[in-house]
A = this chain, B = another copy of it.
Amino acid sequence: MASPQTIWYNYDKNLVETIDQRYLPFQNLIVEISTLDEARRAITGMIVRGAPLIGVTAAFGMYLAARNFSGADFLADMNKAADWLKSSRPTAVNLAFAVDEALSVISEKCSIPQNNQQLFAFAETLKQREIEFSNKIGVHGLELIKATSETKKGKPVQILTHCNAGRLATIELGTATAPIYLAHLAGIAVHVWVDETRPRNQGARLTAWELGEAGIPYTIIPDNTGGHLMQHGMVDMVIVGSDRTTLNGDVANKIGTYLKALAAADNGIPFYVALPSTTIDWNLNDGVAEIPIEQRDDSEVSVMEGLLGNQVHQFRIIPEKSPVANYGFDVTPARLVTGLVTERGICKASREGILELFPEKRLKND
C-alpha cells in the first residue's frame, strides 16, 4: 500500500497531514492541515471523507483550534469551534461524536497547554480506536467470507461494494473492505464488483485504486449494473459501510446503497453493513424520517474529472442550463440488511441485535 495510514501528525512540521482524496487515483498528493479552518475545509471539500476518517480529522481539528486560542474565552471559543466543525457535514454522525468527545476532555481545572495536550491525546486515541475497530470488523467479517468460500469449490467469492468504505474512509484497512483485505491475506480467493458510485465516483476512483494497490481482483461496474449481476448469480454477498446507523438498524450510506439492498433482498443475496459502533446514532429509531440527508453542489453531477493525455481536467458533461439534484446519501431500512458487522461481532440489524452486542447502551436507553 502506498501509505500505511490516511492521517497522521507530522512532528517536524507540527501539523496534521492527510491524503488529498480529491485527486486520487490520478495524483497522490499530501495535504497539510494546521488550523481549525483547514480541518473544516478538508471535511467539507472532501479532501477527507468516510465517517471514521471524518471523525478523526475533526478530533485533530479541535486540537488545532485549541492551540490557537488563549485567554479567558478558551471554553467559549472551543464550543464555537465545535459547532463550526459539526455543521460541516450533516449525515456522518462520527463527526458530531468526535467533536463532543473532544469537548468533554477539556477541563476548566487544567491550564490551556494541559488542555491542548489532552485534546491531542484524544485525537490520537480516537485514531487508534478506529484502527482497532477496523481490524476487529475485518476479523468478524472474514468468517462470513470464509463460510461462503467453502461453498464455492475454489472459485472466488464474489463481493459487491458501493462507494468507498475502504482504507481511505478510515485510518487503515477500512470497514466494508476490512474482511476483504483479511480474506485476501488468508489466501481466500475473492473478486470485488466495485460500483462506480456517481456522482463523485468514489468506487471507480478510490476503492478500485485501493484494491489495485493491495493486489485484490476487482471489476468496476456502473451503479446500474449490480441488479443484473445479482439476477444471474454473479454476486455472493454485498458488503457496504455506513455513515450513520440508527438504533433499530437503519443504515444511511452513500446514495444508491438502498437500491443495491433491494436487489440483494430480491435475489436472496446476503447484504452486510460493516461499521464501527462510532457510526451508531443511539438516539434515532427511524432512519428514513430522522437522518438528515446532505444535498451537495450541482457541479458534482454536471462536471467530471478525468485525464486528457496525462493532464487532469474538469469537464462539463451536461449542458449549462440543465437543472440537477445531488443528494449525498440514502437510507437502507433495517429489514433489507442481513447483518451488521461491528467491532464486537455480527448482529441482526435491529434494536435487539444491536443492544445484545452493546448492552451498556441498553442501560442508558431502556
A contact residues vs B (CB 8 Å cutoff): 25-26, 193, 196-199, 201, 204-205, 208-209, 212, 217-229, 231-232, 254-256, 258-260, 262-263, 266, 288, 293, 301-308, 313-319, 321-327, 329-331
Contact = CB atoms under 8 A, between A and B. Distances in A.
A129 to B, nearest CB: 31
A120 to B, nearest CB: 37
8 interchain residue pairs of minimum CB distance: A224-B256, A306-B315, A228-B330, A262-B262, A198-B222, A227-B258, A306-B317, A307-B316
Contacts of A208: 318-319, 322
B315 A222 contact: no
23 contacts: A193-B325, A198-B198, A198-B224, A201-B317, A204-B322, A205-B318, A208-B318, A212-B321, A223-B256, A224-B254, A227-B330, A228-B293, A228-B327, A228-B329, A228-B330, A231-B330, A262-B262, A304-B304, A304-B317, A306-B306, A307-B316, A308-B314, A315-B315
A313 B313 CA distance: 11
Contacts of A255: 222, 224-225, 228
Contacts of A324: 219-221
Nearest to A321: B212
Contact of A316 (B198, B219, B306, B319): B306
B327 A225 contact: yes
Nearest to A228: B330
